[in-house]
Amino acid sequence: MTKAAIMGYGTVGSGVAEVLAGNPEKIAWSARQGVELKYILDVRDFPESPFADKIIHDFAVIESDPEVSVVAECIGGATIAYEYVRRCLEAHKSVATSNKELIAEKGLELLGIARDNGVSLMFEGAVGGGIPIIRTLTQYFSGNKINEVFGILNATTNYILTQMNECGLEFGEVLKDAQRRGYAEADPTADVDGIDACRKICILADLSFSRNISPAWVKTTGVRSMTPADTAFAEEMGCAIKLLGRSLRRGDKVTAYVAPHLIPRGKVLYDVNGVMNAVVVNAEGIGDCIFTGAGAGKLPTASAVVADMADAVRHAYEEKRAIWESADESVFFDSDELVSRWYVRSSAAPVEMQRAFDGAVYTAGGECAVLTQPMDARQLAETAGRIPLLSAFRVLD
Amino acid sequence: MTKAAIMGYGTVGSGVAEVLAGNPEKIAWSARQGVELKYILDVRDFPESPFADKIIHDFAVIESDPEVSVVAECIGGATIAYEYVRRCLEAHKSVATSNKELIAEKGLELLGIARDNGVSLMFEGAVGGGIPIIRTLTQYFSGNKINEVFGILNATTNYILTQMNECGLEFGEVLKDAQRRGYAEADPTADVDGIDACRKICILADLSFSRNISPAWVKTTGVRSMTPADTAFAEEMGCAIKLLGRSLRRGDKVTAYVAPHLIPRGKVLYDVNGVMNAVVVNAEGIGDCIFTGAGAGKLPTASAVVADMADAVRHAYEEKRAIWESADESVFFDSDELVSRWYVRSSAAPVEMQRAFDGAVYTAGGECAVLTQPMDARQLAETAGRIPLLSAFRVLD
């Protein structure tokens, strides 16, 4: 029997407490010993909670208790969470977290501290909610070179895009509805501006290409400027619009970016709607492997954290963890160099669009849209010339 | 540095040799030491092979070589393969295999022998080709009760059904074409009669419900009697026909079966075509998690075997393996008790079908088809009464 602590009793933290309490035998089997919750750290008290007697307010209690061998970090952010996780690892406690900001920004350093202290830092819940993509990348694709990893990584924006598409609504209306339903935060910036997806694709790139890809290098476009005209044109063209995080290898170099894409019907990810997430891994010898599941939510994420806690306990004295190397920007190439077809929308005259882009012109409401020939971002700008583009999204072919 | 052996130099065995030779650094990183191929056991010689110098004909050489710590079993079947795997495990060598017949029939016994000898028996390649479903079930769903597992488990039949659907061809024609392309064996029985899918769903059920489900208990229907009329009616009804292996829990009991199903458009697995496989796991707290990838092929399967070999080496002295318990048939309930809508086809008069089944009747070529109300298999037989049913497939709703 070992003891566990939870730091932060919000949505994920309370889910971790529930999952731990709900399946003690399965967790004990997986961890090869019982895992008992001893503390929940939070600034607040929760007198109504079934776990009220576990609540503490002083981190030092966890840090100094030798009985506690594994800690779930459910605080969020990369300030207090960073300090507490570092100190847990230094106190020889393994940590499981779903905090993508922490891992994308500080993962390399914290994984080093974990290694130096003979414990584990696990973060299955940081990407893809309930989808086991982290352990799959860490453990499974070991015999195969990964060429590309991409996916629908943010449940909030996928819900918004699905609703815009199905109901023909404006972005602002759907966002408000998503906030009412609890699918979007009161401050939706990290989701709708692609920041969350950026952190997640950085973590997937780190693991896929064994190099630390900084979120600062990654060109990131969100969905805030999406209009019903875009989703309507896309549908007419036989495509769905999805916000993708994407990272790929070209020789020894890697790129990563976040942007809306048009996905043609029948292609992978076209049908992944609502709050579902999906990750595609393309590896030599295996081809595309696609992992789909609930991208968010208290229990899927909490389940991922608890699976990590059990793994950390089982492997307490073994080197079994994600690693990647530090890297400077010279390993990175600009995603603008990637060649693809583009969807462009403009208020220019259809004949002008036709002349510039040489493709079928779709018109509606005084605007028009075209799917271009394959080209990179610079060529797109040159081809457009003086035509002002209201939207320009890559097509995932 | 440790030494490895391959038993059986056919498609998968030669793929394992290629993958081992092709990515030594990644495998060494994953195994935490180098893994060098020392022997390939086969009855034949392969003078043209780049691995000709590794070929041996005497199993005892592997069995008695203490340098060999891990063996890939690529012989197939459950006779010689069974004996050699047992003796490898007893000689304290871990074994990785993609042999579903061996694991479905003898897995429980062999896993016990592995445990008793402190080594591992790994079988990621046995189900789902390149999809990492075995380790996901073994390691990830530990905090959550699994309710159901099902999927498209056989690439040959999925290719055949996809071709029948897209080209309106007869089963026999498509089978011949698949044999020409190498997607079907000269003797296709195990694939087209559902035997292969039966073995695979048994393995998934073993892992999901921790009990040994015998292939002998599992009602198994293949695709041999499928006609172009079935695929045409299904398409008119907005459905695709897929051969599914399915296992689910009801209280403390479990069932499993293999049969063609109609999958409505927009539902999970509808779009999984050709030689792709997909597995859906439904667990409490997580919901549906879907894993899709190439279901067969030399390199996907060989990659799975090599990933297992690396894992076995890394965990050489640790209890990290699949386990399930022996069970008698009292844990099993008859899949006929499951309630679902059914697709039925008959040469009866449309008015008779309408009267019996109370649904929209589709007619073509002197036959008609209906989607029934939800009912179990006994109720279906009662409802049909004297109407002879040419096909009766469940709908996956």
Q: What is the ipTM of this complex?
A: 0.84
Cα distance from B367 to chain A (closest Cα, Å)?
31
Q: Between A144, A290, A293, which is nearest B286 by CB?
A: A293
Chain A residues whose beta carbon lies within 8 Å of the beta carbon of residue B307 = 139-143
Q: Tell me the catalytic residues of A.
A: 200
CA distance B83 to B102: 10
Residues of B with CB below 8 A from A291's CB?
Answer: 289-292
What mean pLDDT comes out for the span A206-233?
Answer: 95
CB within 8 Å: B23 and A131: no
Q: Are B130 and B155 in contact (CB under 8 A)?
A: no
Residues B287, A294: C-beta atoms closer than 8 Å: yes
Name the closest residue on chain B to residue A312, using Cα atoms: B139
Give the CA count within 13 Å in the CB-facing half-sphere of A311.
29
Percent of chain A whose pLDDT exceeds 90? 85
Determine whether the interchain pair B144/A23 forms a contact, defined as Cβ–Cβ distance below 8 Å.
Answer: yes
Q: What are phi and psi of A349, to 5 degrees?
A: -70, 140
Q: Which residues of A fall within a CB distance of 8 Å from B145?
A: 23, 26
- Measured between CA atoms, how close is B355 to chain A, in angstroms? 37
Instruction: Find, in chain B, the residue whose alpha carbon is nearest to that of A306.
Output: B143
3-state helix, strand, coil in chain A (%, to 5): 40, 25, 35
Kindly determine whether residue A135 and residue B130, on different chains, have CB atoms separated by under 8 Å. no
| pLDDT, chain B, mean | 93
pLDDT at A211 over 70: yes
Q: Does the beta-carbon distance from B143 to A310 stay under 8 Å?
A: yes
Per-residue confidence (pLDDT) for residue B321, from 0 to 100 = 58
Does residue B317 surpass a pLDDT of 60?
no
Q: Which residue of A has its CA nearest to B208?
A: A26
Taking contacts as CB-CB distances below 8 angstroms, the residues of chain A near B266 are: 271
pLDDT at A235 over 80: yes
Cβ distance of B310 and A32 shorter than 8 Å: no
Percent of chain B clearing pLDDT 90 (strictly above)? 84
Instruction: Report the relative pairing of strands A121-122 and A35-41 from DSSP bridges.
Output: unpaired
The answer for B104, left when phi > 0, alpha when psi is -120 to 50, beta otherwise, is alpha
Among B142, B287, B293, the residue with its CB nearest the CB of A26 is B142
* pLDDT-wise least confident of A47-51, A121-125, A363-367, B28-32: B28-32
Q: Which two tokens stand for residue A157?
A: 């924006």
Using pLDDT thresholds of 50, 70 and 90, give the confidence band for residue A142.
Answer: low
The residue of chain A with its CA nearest to that of B286 is A300
Whether pLDDT at B271 is above 80:
yes
Confidence tier at A181 by pLDDT (50, 70, 90): confident
CA distances from A307 to A28, A38, A279, B246 (A): 11, 18, 19, 25
Q: Within a 10 A sphere around the Cβ of A288, how many other Cβ atoms? A: 16
For residue B382, the model assigns a pLDDT of 96
Judged by CB atoms closer than 8 Å, whether chains meet at B290 and A286 is answered as no
CB A278 within 8 Å of CB A162: no
